[in-house]
Structure 1
Amino acid sequence: MRLTSTRRRAALAVTAAALALTTTGCLGDSGGGGGGDSNTVTVWMSVDQPIVDGFQEHLDKLAADTDLTVKLEKVENINQLIMTKIQANDTPDIALIPQPGVVGDIVDRGAAFPLDDVVDVPALEQSMIPGTLDTGTFDGKLYGLLAQMNVKSLVFYNKAAWDKAGYKAPESIDELNALTEQIKADGGTPWCMGIESDTATGWPATDWFEDLVLRYGGVDTYDQWVSHEVPFDSDVVRESAAEFEKLMFTDGNVLGGRKSISSTGFADAGYPMFDKSGPKCWLFKQGSFIPSFITEGAGVTLDDIGLFGFPPAEAGGDNPLLGGGDLAVLLNDSDQAKQVMKWMSDPELGTEAAPKSSFISPHTTFDTSLYPDALTAQMAQIAYDATDFRFDGSDQMPGEVGAGTFWKEMTAWISDDQDLDTTLKNIDDSWPSS
């Protein structure tokens, strides 16, 4: 039943995306870049409606003493839709894009305008998590400003059972391995793990690898790996694979064993943590969106869920964060559009959205008391304590790799259908030549 529910969500997303493409013409009527009232600035985004509403409220307050009107619109499948609109020269004034690779494509088409002279970059460098501005920087210029984020370097657990057992959050990967062994010695199954996600099966494994490469290689090597200057068949990826293999493939470490991972739904995997007889598995590495799935699927509340940040390679060392989010891109260089973009760089953007949505600000100065619950505030604080931020790697790789062979080959390896050598070679060979 739970797996069916997960698949239904995926099917609805596909249907919505298809609908968005069929309604492109209608949406275009309000695009700021294609004409219309010069004092109305249109912003498109695909974030949850409560975030849209909160952003609208905040921007309305900033615009109250001006003659500007800011019109925010939620659209589906914005990555494809915006490319269609660029071709038609009928874009909104600003768009929030969820993938840096798409921002780069927009820049390559000459459709985006740099933000270096629009926003206060030195001030943003002080208020934002280190590395967030790098995410939207191309050829030395800032084109995409992270407006809201999600956090991926997280491990969730059953809070009551965890506290009763007296376990402590690990401060290094070695301590994570020790915790895994301790849980097993205590008679438990350490890890919950599933990578099944319909046509996107495999993506949770890529998040694991991205986090491990980020820790073992550091941010520079991670960036080189994402751009394929460092290949998949490299020492740092093999080191990451060895750690993944130790945690996920060792007998007794994962509920259902290695063979179950590829057939277990990415969200369903976490529900057994809250079995009425006690945790069937104890640790669940996932992103900041997963608590809503757990509360629904396991019938618990947010107060029942505990978490810690995925630990650094060494205690006290660099503590990078893997995440995602939406980048504001300027598609119209009018003074009005620039003013709204400047408002969107306000560190307090999200003040109205945070209490009623999944919004997480990329600004370390953001008031964490505004988040709707302690769990969200804790996820945000983990992000703010990071030494550096890096965007999800597969979202930056060419589509045929990041959303293709990376998923597929990880699934084949995890399923024990092929060895690691073949897996890494296949991904490298799939990389486009230009």
Structure 2
Amino acid sequence: MAAVAALALPLAGCGGDSGGGSSNSKTVTIWSSVDQPVQDGLQKALEDKIKAGGDDITIKWQKVENISQLIITKIQSGDTPDLVMVPQPGVVQQMNQLGAIKPLDDAVDMDALKSSMMPGTLESGTVDGKLMGLLVSANVKGLIFYPKKAWAKAGYDASSVTDIASLQKLTDQMKADGNTPWCFGIESDTATGWPATDWIETLVMKQSGADVYNKWVSHEIPFNSDEVKAAGETMEKLLFPDGNVLGGIKSSTSTNFGEAGTPMWDKSGPKCWMLNQGSFITGFFPDDITSDLDANVGVFGFPPATAGGENPVEGGGDLLTMLNDSANVKKVVSYLSETDIGDDAAPSSSFFSPHKDFDISLYPNKLTQEQAKYAYAASSFLFDGSDSMPAEVGTGSFWKEMTAWISGSEDLDTALTNINDSWPS
């Protein structure tokens, strides 16, 4: 709270022109926490649309850290911007419970969005049948990165991985060849454990489907259900045996997530051969690798349980919420909902569009284009589970108990039961 208070001081006047909402204001204020290059690209496209439309609107867009906590504080003090992009559906729901946000349905073309957006993305911001949060900038998880040149030399083939069984077969083959299949690290300071939650979430959706996943995230299905346990057991088969993870599974609790993939490019040859992570992770790779991602890095999507079967993808992103529904604000929301709003951001930033009809040639490299093909072909886009669960669980017991399980201090059943018992009544 001290950190939030400190951040609030220099921002106290940010909502001045329209926070609370002057219906006639020509200035529309926007808060987000997206990377600055993403913000710059989106703002340029937005201002170009405003100019082309002949609208008398000035955009005041500010990058804000700790935005999920700060916006709740600002709502309670009655000093808010017009629009806020928040990274968790749970925060959208909280803002709605506080009566702070307006439905977006009549500010956007819902029919166009239903046709354009990846399946599941609209649902992530829908509350009680109304669109309260619109995904503008996305990211994709469940991507398996590998050292492209070493794979080609070793004869490994990503196209052979069509289901979880074939991923297990490839893991076993690498091990039989004397290689360590997986790079894996879950250390992240006070957030240690979150990479393990992504593994569980991906496996729940792949093995049990989108419907079960959504019921689990909302606790209609308990955390220690058979479906969640089955996900944990598959993770154990892939990662827990001796020799499957560099340094051993227990060492992953002290291996930083951002450094876990670095050994793939060791000068003497890969020390581990696959890394399951989100699209952002390439920013943590060594400079000599990122200087030519297409030549050095290969990627394929985490496969479905059955080849050709239901294949949802896990992701996240920033959801646009509207705190002031003046005509000018609605006009800005409409522009931000259009597919081409990312045309300026995509070529020069980490921006990833939630629109499946986005022009993927605008992405800066083939690696990102491959990620897009995987995401846009998915049967549904499911928001990161831990970001959607109550904080006591999603960023609390889920992280903690995954760490205890992986470290060997608890078995899977105990960890899942402890998480389930922590769910707020």
Q: TM-score, normalised by structure 1?
A: 0.93
Unaligned runs of 5+ residues in structure 2 are none
Once the two structures are overlaid, the 10-residue window that deviates more, 377-386 or 168-177, is 377-386
Corresponding residue number in structure 2 for 1:190: 181
Which of 117, 124, 127 is the aligned partner of 1:138? Answer: 127
Is the 1:147–1:344 Cα contact (8 Å) retained in structure 2?
A: yes
Q: Secondary structure at the match of 1:148?
A: strand
> What does the per-residue CA deviation read over 1:310-337, in whole Å, with 9 as the maximum and x for residues that have no partner?
1111100111000000001111111111
> What does the per-residue CA deviation read over 1:271-305, in whole Å, with 9 as the maximum and x for residues that have no partner?
11001111110010011110010134977642311
Which of 70, 79, 99 is the aligned partner of 2:68? Answer: 79
Q: Secondary structure at the match of 2:85?
A: strand
Once the two structures are overlaid, the 10-residue window that deviates more, 162-171 or 199-208, is 162-171
> What does the per-residue CA deviation read over 1:40-88, in whole Å, with 9 as the maximum and x for residues that have no partner?
1111111011111111111111111111222221111111111111112
Is the 2:18–2:27 Cα contact (8 Å) retained in structure 1?
A: no
Aligned equivalents of 2:224, 2:46: Cα separation in 1 = 47
Corresponding residue number in structure 2 for 1:405: 397
1:156-195 correspondence to structure 2 within 5 Å: 156-169=145-158, 170-195=161-186
> What does the per-residue CA deviation read over 1:183-241, in whole Å, with 9 as the maximum and x for residues that have no partner?
11111110010100000000000000000001111111101100111111111011101
Q: Does 1:33 align with 2:10?
A: no
Is the 1:147–1:325 Cα contact (8 Å) retained in structure 2?
A: yes
Is the 1:213–1:222 Cα contact (8 Å) retained in structure 2?
A: yes
Corresponding residue number in structure 2 for 1:4: none
Q: Does 1:66 align with 2:29?
A: no
Which of 268, 278, 291 is the aligned partner of 1:287? Answer: 278
Which of 86, 111, 115 is the aligned partner of 1:122? Answer: 111
Residue identity matched to 2:411? D
Q: Secondary structure at the match of 2:339?
A: coil
Is the 2:88–2:388 Cα contact (8 Å) retained in structure 1?
A: yes
Is the 2:23–2:327 Cα contact (8 Å) retained in structure 1?
A: no
Corresponding residue number in structure 1 for 2:356: 364
Q: Secondary structure at the match of 1:395?
A: helix
Is the 2:31–2:81 Cα contact (8 Å) retained in structure 1?
A: yes
Which of 44, 69, 80 is the aligned partner of 2:31? Answer: 44
Residue identity matched to 2:94? D
Quickly say closer, same or farther: Cα 1:410–1:396, change in 2 above 3 A: same
Q: Secondary structure at the match of 1:285?
A: strand
Once the two structures are overlaid, the 10-residue window that deviates more, 316-325 or 164-173, is 164-173
Cα deviation for residue 37 of structure 1 reads 6.5
Residue identity matched to 1:384? Y
Aligned equivalents of 1:299, 1:58: Cα separation in 2 = 27
Quickly say closer, same or farther: Cα 1:15–1:384, change in 2 above 3 A: farther
> What does the per-residue CA deviation read over 1:144-181, in whole Å, with 9 as the maximum and x for residues that have no partner?
10001000110000000111222122110001000101
Aligned equivalents of 1:397, 1:142: Cα separation in 2 = 19
Which of 103, 106, 112 is the aligned partner of 2:101? Answer: 112
Q: Which runs of 4+ in 1 moved over 2 A?
A: 14-24, 26-37, 295-301
> What does the per-residue CA deviation read over 1:353-396, in whole Å, with 9 as the maximum and x for residues that have no partner?
11110000011111111111221222122111111000000001
Q: Does 1:99 align with 2:91?
A: no
Residue identity matched to 2:78? N
Residue identity matched to 1:73? Q
Q: Does 1:56 align with 2:43?
A: yes
Is the 1:16–1:76 Cα contact (8 Å) retained in structure 2?
A: no
Corresponding residue number in structure 1 for 2:227: 236
Aligned equivalents of 1:327, 1:259: Cα separation in 2 = 36
Which of 309, 315, 330 is the aligned partner of 1:323? Answer: 315
Q: Secondary structure at the match of 2:316?
A: strand
Q: Does 1:427 align with 2:419?
A: yes
Aligned equivalents of 1:80, 1:296: Cα separation in 2 = 34
Once the two structures are overlaid, the 10-residue window that deviates more, 72-81 or 280-289, is 72-81
Once the two structures are overlaid, the 10-residue window that deviates more, 375-384 or 201-210, is 375-384
**Count of aligned pairs:** 420
Is the 1:368–1:377 Cα contact (8 Å) retained in structure 2?
A: yes
Q: Secondary structure at the match of 1:232?
A: coil
Cα deviation for residue 22 of structure 1 reads 3.7
Cα deviation for residue 422 of structure 1 reads 1.4
Q: Secondary structure at the match of 1:267?
A: coil
Which of 341, 359, 383 is the aligned partner of 2:375? Answer: 383
Residue identity matched to 1:177? Q
Residue identity matched to 1:185? A
Is the 1:267–1:290 Cα contact (8 Å) retained in structure 2?
A: yes
Q: Does 1:207 align with 2:194?
A: no
Aligned equivalents of 2:269, 2:81: Cα separation in 1 = 51
Aligned equivalents of 1:88, 1:15: Cα separation in 2 = 16
Which of 307, 330, 348 is the aligned partner of 2:340? Answer: 348
Q: Secondary structure at the match of 2:352?
A: coil
Is the 1:101–1:396 Cα contact (8 Å) retained in structure 2?
A: yes
Quickly say closer, same or farther: Cα 1:340–1:299, change in 2 above 3 A: closer
Cα deviation for residue 24 of structure 1 reads 3.4
Quickly say closer, same or farther: Cα 1:134–1:43, change in 2 above 3 A: same
> What does the per-residue CA deviation read over 1:240-293, in whole Å, with 9 as the maximum and x for residues that have no partner?
011011111111111111221111111111111001111110010011110010
Aligned equivalents of 2:56, 2:289: Cα separation in 1 = 50
